[in-house]
Copies of this chain bind each other. A is one copy, B any other.
Amino acid sequence: MSELKPGRSFVSAQQVAELAGVSRSAVSRTFTDGASVSETTRKKVLEAAETLGYHVNHLARSLIHEDSGIVCLIGADINTPYHSRLIDAITRRLQAINRVAMVINTSGDTDSVEAALRQTLNYRANATVVLSGTPPTSLINTCLNSGQHVILINRDDHLDGPENISVDNAAAAREAFHMLHRAGSRRIAVVSSQAGTPSLVARERAFETAAGEAGLDVTITRAGPTGYGAGFEAGRLLLSGSHRPDAAFCVTDLLACGFMDAARVEFGMNVPEELCVVGFDDIEQAGWASYQLTTFRQPIVQVADHITMLLDGEDPLRQRGGSVSFHADPVWRRTVRPK
């Protein structure tokens, strides 16, 4: 008879079995879907489990099945509106298919990325979703070699092993140019940040190309690390000169908010009369009355749905290395002149 420690420590199946007067196998089978247990013993077991407060140990269970039920989300800047919404959507859907998310924050030192991916392997995560940033290819290969399922989001360099889910940045950026061009803008600035994320670079490039095809030159400004501050600074730099732009494509909504604030507060400009602005992401603040930003909606729901689809499939490894791209639809608000 094993010793019962009522208050502390976790209850094991052995203790439940002893209280219920059955074998430990019976307890195990009671909590295993599709196992063969009679209704009477099932009842005894459930009652004993309730009394003792028993909860199946998923760690031990994962030793046997290869499925730990853990999915790692790794990313930097997770307090950003876009990222936090993405994490919100993914965690919610993962829970719906009985997985649980381990969030690994790679902000700060660069070594932390390596340590983070090691955690992924240590906990035998079912899959690793790389939300952003630029983890070295070697580390991704480490995961792949260990049989890990790797899902990359918004890395436009399409690697072979992992699954790629991306947004059609190029198409959206082209559309952004045409929106501004059609509105009559001819001196268009591109506002970006020093982050150098693949998606940001893709948006810059595609916009520049589309402008070139229309015979326009654009200047790309990268005034700070990321976000609102960089946008504000870019606005201060670009609008203080004598040759002011009449429109800006900001590769991120946060940049756009900063840019607009600089234009209005520092220079008293009117948007969209004197300055048109287009953003990207469609964060919550883009819809606020102070901004009413015309932008492109990140297909967050589709991305989250696709991830769960990949993980919930009967054979999650069947289409390894596949690539999916979702469209970012324009959201018309008030920062681009109509017609």
Contacts and interface: CB of A to CB of B under 8 A. Distances in A.
Contact of A107 (B92, B145, B265): B92
A102 B102 contact: yes
A83 B88 CA distance: 11
A110 interface: no
A112 interface: yes
B112 A104 contact: no
A302 B300 CA distance: 32
- Top 5 nearest A-B pairs (CB, nearest first) are A84-B84, A261-B289, A55-B121, A79-B88, A91-B105
A20 interface: no
Contacts of A66: 9-10
A115 interface: yes
Interface residues of A, number: 66
B289 A265 contact: yes
A9 B147 contact: yes
Given A95-B115, A124-B59, A257 B288 contact: yes
A57 B104 contact: no
Contacts of A193: none
Contacts of A291: 290
A206 interface: no
A41 interface: no
Nearest to A77: B88
A276 to B, nearest CB: 18
